[in-house]
């Protein structure tokens, strides 16, 4: 609404991400290695229980005659059969995920990748409560959750682009977030700020192609760390995109522009998580979680506009 009314023109935009807990416990997750071990153990238990049931059935037939009792599965056996079925489904889901990831990152000359059978890593996790959530590393350790993304403009601190991803880090999120801002706000920002988590050669190449002035940290920010002065003279031959970005941030103008990043985007996550108490999704599944996050971001913008009107 603010954009349509002409109250805001997108110039500078800061992007950041934060891990939020899913409506699932990480203790309900199981690794691919553990699945194979558990499947083997359950098969042995099922086999033992079936043998025991056949023995008891034969004894009862000899004592009371045949066809005197129902043929339903004992509760103990039924529980193990159900658990075994869920583990088989989880294994198939992890194997399908591994194949999809391999196809997406295929590096063969024909673009088809290797023909060998793709198997998940032993440590790959599947959560039985919310299978689409992921084990992610947050500031306070590991959590079962999703990686939320926002793009914020500095004038009214409105969220002009938002997304939810299953990615463990932000390396591949800069260009999708740039596209999200264009789609959701109807404007392409002229300048974009992001921390080192978003910096990669592909991201630097993408923003250059999109003709967006980017200021991306090339190393993790340290407390009270100050970059040295910008070296004099032309850039040496063979300088990489990362080296050019590092030089850009060492200039007086570059340092001043990038220093504004924290004050633009990080307070918004603080307002959402601390002031409003939104630290965990209520819904399950990526599609529903994306809708829930969109509502949270919309509520933030409505409050910002309300306070602006009431001033």
Whole-angstrom Cα distance, residue 133 to residue 225? 35
Q: Assess if residue 105 is contained within a domain.
A: yes
Q: Assess if residue 63 is contained within a domain.
A: yes
Q: Assess if residue 7 is contained within a domain.
A: no
32 and 158 assigned to the same domain: no
Whether 111 and 102 have beta carbons less than 8 Å apart is answered as no
The boundaries of the domain holding residue 58 are 27-127
Whole-angstrom Cα distance, residue 163 to residue 297? 10
Whether 281 and 23 have beta carbons less than 8 Å apart is answered as yes
Q: Name 32's Cβ contacts closer than 8 Å, sequence gap at least 6.
A: 91, 94, 120, 121, 122, 123, 124, 125, 126
Q: Assess if residue 96 is contained within a domain.
A: yes
Q: Which residue has the tokens 């032309």?
A: 234
More confident call, 225 vs 308 = 308
105 and 143 assigned to the same domain: no
Whole-angstrom Cα distance, residue 238 to residue 122? 40
165 and 280 assigned to the same domain: yes
Q: Assess if residue 268 is contained within a domain.
A: yes
Give me 41's structure tokens: 């153990």
More confident call, 34 vs 282 = 282
Point out the domain boundary residue: 127, 159, 181.
127
Segment holding 152, helix H or strand E: strand 141-152
Count of domains observed in the chain? 2
Q: Which among 118, 123, 121, 132 is positioned nearest to 167, based on CA atoms? A: 132
Q: Assess if residue 101 is contained within a domain.
A: yes
Residues 262-297 have pLDDT tens digits of 999 999 999 999 999 999 999 999 999 999 999 999
Residues 234-271 have pLDDT tens digits of 766 778 888 889 989 989 999 999 999 999 999 999 99
Asked if pLDDT for residue 145 goes beyond 70, the answer is: yes
Q: Assess if residue 177 is contained within a domain.
A: yes
86 and 181 assigned to the same domain: no
The b/e string for 137-176 (b: 16+ C-beta within 10 A; e otherwise) is eeeeeebbbbbbbbbbbbeebbbbbbbbbeeeebeebbbe
Whole-prediction pTM value? Answer: 0.78
Residues in the chain: 311
pLDDT band at 229 (very low <50, low <70, confident <90, very high): low
CATH of the domain at 208: 3.30.420.10
The 8 Å CB, 24+ separation contacts for 123-127 are 123/31, 123/32, 123/33, 124/31, 124/32, 124/94, 124/97, 124/98, 125/29, 125/30, 125/31, 125/32, 126/29, 126/30, 126/32, 126/35, 126/90, 126/93, 126/94, 127/22, 127/24, 127/26, 127/28, 127/29
Q: Assess if residue 262 is contained within a domain.
A: yes
Point out the domain boundary residue: 127, 161, 176.
127
**Interhelix angle for 201-209 vs 241-250, to 10°?**
80
CA 136 to chain centre: 8
Point out the domain boundary residue: 127, 162, 182.
127
């Amino acid at each position: 609404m603010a954009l349509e009314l002409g109250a805001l023109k997108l110039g500078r935009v800061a992007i950041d991400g934060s891990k939020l807990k899913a409506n699932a416990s990480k203790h309900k997750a199981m690794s691919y290695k553990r699945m194979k071990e558990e499947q083997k153990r359950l098969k042995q238990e099922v086999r033992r229980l079936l043998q025991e049931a056949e023995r008891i059935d034969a004894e009862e037939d000899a004592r009371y005659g045949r066809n005197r009792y129902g043929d339903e599965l004992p509760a103990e056996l039924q529980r193990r059969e159900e658990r075994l079925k869920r583990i088989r489904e989880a294994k198939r889901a992890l194997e399908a995920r591994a194949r999809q990831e391999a196809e997406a990152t295929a590096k063969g000359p024909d673009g088809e990748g290797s023909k060998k059978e793709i198997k998940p890593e032993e440590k790959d996790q599947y959560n039985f409560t919310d299978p689409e959530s992921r084990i992610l590393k947050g500031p306070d350790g590991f959590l079962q959750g999703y990686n939320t993304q926002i793009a914020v403009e500095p004038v009214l601190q409105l969220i002009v682009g938002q997304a939810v991803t299953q990615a463990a880090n932000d390396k591949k999120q800069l260009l999708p977030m740039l596209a999200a801002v264009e789609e959701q706000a109807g404007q392409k920002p002229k300048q974009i700020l992001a921390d080192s988590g978003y910096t990669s050669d592909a991201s630097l190449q993408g923003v250059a192609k999109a003709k967006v002035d980017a200021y991306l940290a090339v190393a993790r920010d340290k407390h009270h760390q100050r970059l040295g002065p910008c070296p004099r003279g032309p850039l040496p031959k063979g300088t990489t995109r990362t080296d050019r970005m590092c030089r850009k941030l060492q200039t007086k103008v570059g340092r001043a522009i990038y220093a504004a990043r924290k004050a633009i985007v990080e307070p918004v996550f603080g307002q959402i998580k601390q002031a409003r108490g939104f630290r965990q999704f209520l819904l399950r599944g990526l599609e529903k979680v994306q809708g829930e996050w969109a509502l949270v971001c919309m509520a933030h913008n409505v409050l910002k506009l309300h306070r602006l009107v009431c001033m």
